[in-house]
Amino acid sequence: MLWIIWSTLVKRDIILEILLFGTIIIITTTLLNVVGLHYRFWDYPIAFLPIIPRAFPFDFSMIPVAYMLLYQYFSTWKFFIIAQITMALTYAFIGEPFFEWVELVYYFEWRYSYSFIYYIIVEIGTRALILKLASLSKLQDLTTK
C-alpha cells in the first residue's frame, strides 16, 4: 500500500536519485536489523510470511518510503533536517513504542533514543552521499557534452 502511494507521489524527473536513496536506506536498515537480531537487541515475534525476514514490512516499506518522500519534498538542508528530526522523533518515540505495545517487536538491549540517533545519522548521511553523487553525475554530463 505504501509503495502504491509512493508511486503516485514520486517526482519522475529525479526518480533514479530517489530510488538510489531508498535502496541505500533499505540496505542500511536491513543490515542493522540483522545485527540487532543476532546480538538480541530486539526480536520480531511474528513472521508475516515464513520465507521473508520478520522485519520486512519495516525495512522495505515503512522506513524507506517515508524517507524517500522526505528526500523529494524537502530540498534544502534546513527544511530537510527539520522534517527528518520530526520523522525520527515520530518513529522512535511514537511508532516503536506502539509496535512494541502491540507485540510486533520486543526490545531487549535497545532504547528508543538509539533509534532516534540512528534515523538521523543514516538519513542525513545518505542524503549527503546522494547529493554528492548527483552533483558528480551532473558534472560528468557537462564535461561529456
pLDDT (tens digit, 0 to 9) for every residue of the chain, 145 residues total? 888 999 999 989 989 999 999 999 999 998 998 899 899 999 988 777 776 666 777 888 889 999 999 999 998 999 999 999 999 999 999 999 999 999 889 999 899 999 999 999 999 999 999 999 988 877 666 566 6
pTM above 0.85, yes or no: yes
**Cβ atoms of residues 69 and 2 within 8 Å:** no
Angle between helices 63-73 and 77-90 (to 10 degrees): 160
Element containing residue 64 per DSSP (H, E): helix 63-73
Domain locations in the chain as residue ranges: 13-134
Residue type, 109: E
Q: Are 8 and 121 in contact (CB under 8 A)?
A: no
Of the candidates 35, 143, 21, 1, the one whose C-alpha atom is nearest the C-alpha of residue 75 is 21
